[in-house]
Amino acid sequence: MIIKSILDTDLYKFTTSYAYIKLFPYAMGTFTFKDRDETEYPDAFVEALKEEVKAMSSLRLTTGEIRFMSGACRFLPPFYWEWLSSFHFDPEKIRIERDEQHHLHVEVSDFMYKVTLYEVPLLAIISELRNRFFGNVANMEQICSKLAEKVQLSDEHKLTFSEFGTRRRFSFNVQDAVISYLNENAHYCAGTSNCYFAMKYNMKPLGTHPHEWFMFHGAQFGYKHANYMALENWVNVYDGDLGTALSDTYTSDIFLSNISRKQAKLFDGVRCDSGDEFLFTDRLIARYRELGVDPTTKTIIFSNALDFDKALQIQDYCRGKIRCSFGIGTNLTNDTGYKPSNIVMKLARCKMNVNQPWKECVKLSDDLGKHMGSDQETEACLYELGLK
């Protein structure tokens, strides 16, 4: 059994789930899987995946887990954990199949506050099974040797980072070993996005909101208003907590033009998850100054497929201009000598209630090739935003 706890996921899945409960309790959505490498999966892979999904259905939140999360996440009310203690993954909600080209297709549909919880565990399962089926074996001695070098670089240069590697980890055991080492040795590791390991190693769980929050708002309220309304609604739920704004759902150009002075002052900073980090830094600083906000009081969290050498270059560039931190995922939990899986699950469609028609969801990106959505809806989105 690969997923051993409902907490074996990223914190922002719970914060987003609660935001849906509070503001959009009847909204429904569908998440779809995409393998950007177009991997050909063997016949037995689908059956193994279905067995893992079936095993997930037995997971329940424990009293100890509720106690830890209630103490670590004051911004989530007790009733949310009470509700989550009754939640279970439902295999009937998950459609898994393989097409004629042996490409994997996975789709999950449910109320938004529930369906969002499936994304990270499913990706973690697929990533680990993929390694098993293709005969990839982790060399723990090699992993620890590389990890020691990364931690030494972080300590020497006071480079603050968080572990963000659940969804594309090599395996549960590799992530466990990595976080254990970080907890004992990395002086500038701020925490982990994985709530299970945060509890196991008494670390701080970290995270705010995902692209899906903005994609939902774009589909329901229009792409021009998506960034502004998504941030306003986040403030309505969390009243200033969890104050890192995701900047690239509809390109950083659109985000920077949409962000208001109130939002720029209220949010602690932004997360940069695609594009040229150095260019984005310059443009964000300029926007803060334009809005009368001191950029040295704000923070950029960089999280776009980083390694520690790249993070150090970015830190040097930001010094004296703006604060920075780093969310590092695959380079920590899947740096094994094998090519990591390039897989995602994104919100494909949503509706406000069962009586409304489905609306397609789109995610643009500052990186070429990372747009998500049908060609027709992506074109419509680009046109509405004046990007085409």
Q: CA torsion sign, 124 to 125 to 129 to 130? A: negative
**Tens digits of per-residue pLDDT, 221-238?**
999 999 999 999 999 999
> For 360-365, what is the mean pLDDT?
96
Q: What is the pLDDT of residues 117-167, one digit of tens each?
A: 999 999 999 999 999 999 999 999 999 999 999 999 999 999 999 999 999
pLDDT in tens, 240-284: 999 999 999 999 999 999 999 999 999 999 999 999 999 999 999
Overall size of the chain counted in residues? 388
Percent share of the chain, pLDDT over 70: 100
Domain with CATH 3.20.140.10 in the chain: 11-137+340-365, 140-333
Q: Which of 126, 56, 59 is nearest to 92 (CA)?
A: 56
Has residue 369 got a pLDDT over 80?
no
Q: Is the pLDDT of residue 376 over 90?
A: yes
Task: Note whether 38 and 341 are within 8 A (CB).
Answer: no
Average pLDDT, the chain: 97
341 near 130, Cβ under 8 Å?
yes
Query: Cβ–Cβ contacts within 10 Å for residue 58, how many?
Result: 9
| Percentage of the chain modeled with pLDDT above 90 | 98
CATH of domain 140-333: 3.20.140.10
Q: How confident is the model at residue 371 (pLDDT cuts 50, 70, 90)?
A: confident
Phi, psi dihedral angles at 76 (to 5 degrees): -110, 125
Question: What pLDDT score was predicted for residue 368?
Answer: 73
**Architecture of the structural domain at 11-137+340-365:** Alpha-Beta Barrel (3.20)
pLDDT tens figures, 163-186: 999 999 999 999 999 999 999 999
What confidence category does residue 370 fall into, taking pLDDT thresholds of 50, 70 and 90? confident
